[in-house]
Amino acid sequence: MIVLSETWPAGLGPVICVVGARPNFMKMAPILRAFAAHRPSLPALLVHTGQHYDRDMNDRLFDDLRLPRPDINLEVGSGTHAVQTAEVMRRFEPVLDAQRPACVLVVGDVNSTLACALVCAKKDVPVVHVEAGLRSHDRRMPEEINRLLTDQIADRLYTTERGAHVNLAREGVAAERICFVGNVMIDSLLANSEFAPAASNTLQLAGIATQVADTAAGYAVVTLHRPSNVDRPESLRPLLSVLREVSQKLPLIFAMHPRTRANMERFGLQDLLSSPRIVLLPPQGYLEMLGLLKGARLVLSDSGGLQEESTALGVPCLTIRENTERPITVDEGTNTLVGSNPDAIRAGVDEILAGAGKTGRIPEFWDGQAAQRIAADLAAWLLARHQQQVAL
């Protein structure tokens, strides 16, 4: 529901806020709350592209994050990168035509982010990109292409770390288009940490009778989903084998992505994780996952968001990737890149268990106020643009 503030110009449309996949929800929730609290409040229209295919998981995320249900759901569903991007563009264009927004705000690096930005570029609608300038420098990653192109299109770019400004300057993005605001993912984490259930409660509700979460040694949280790690048996088998080895030193709670589970079954690798010291869970709700992370001794993952969340929580993280678009988590946080090399993974685990894991520090502007800074800057930017247009 669009509620226009009395002091918001009548001729200035809403901010269309786009979500499409799970990471977007955590970033958008604090932004929408900040828009409502700002004076003048920023009228917002929430559009869900439907890129994320798990409807039940979507509902849980909206509830956990206290995120309002979308005003519009494009119901695109899953597909190849090309099909999904094209279908989002096709369904999003009529929304732009009908709503005539002041701008479109996109977050992160999923296909919906780029697709909606491309439509805006063709329709001369300003694009605002939250989490701009992050780079893995690996163009084999679809997310890297989405990030690069969205930042070239965007009119206003909000960054989570100052290193992103170096990347954007190298790519020819003018400094006046960029604003350092901090990390909205951390806004969500700090706002919801007190509501996160303990790991033992999550396991009990899942019907798992285990003492994994209560062992004196603690436990590790595991996630794996990137195609480079899970789509080929020659990549997945050694990773599962080393995880089984690690479980002999520290119990594992593995929140398993459907893609990973399906590939394990397809390649006949299920037995590698058949151990009482490895708990296999389906994808978890936001609060449940946050509770697992809070209680963890360490994290083993190829996720982008978990690198940031583990840094914010002070939990050592071993990232099973050769690169990261979030270098601040390595330079200042608790993250270490170990790639997919089993020896590096073993060494990283042993180092943490010996008490030598990274403790890190909280990066600049990871203070829970990033969304408020976005709301303040965006309101001023849009009102200034509107006044200039009216004066012409």
With both helix axes pointing from N to C terminus, report the angle between 370-391 and 184-192 in degrees, rounded to the nearest 10: 130
Partner residues linked to 130 by β-bridges: 107, 158
- Domain topology for 193-356: Rossmann fold (3.40.50)
Residues of the chain short of pLDDT 50, as ranges, are 1-5
Residue ranges, comma separated, of all CATH 3.40.50.2000 domains in the chain are: 15-182+366-391, 193-356
Does 3.40.50.2000 match the CATH number of domain 15-182+366-391? yes
Positions marked active-site: 225
pTM of the model: 0.93
User: What is the per-residue pLDDT across 168-212, written as a single tens digit (0 to 9) for each?
Assistant: 999 999 999 999 999 999 999 999 999 999 998 888 877 665 656
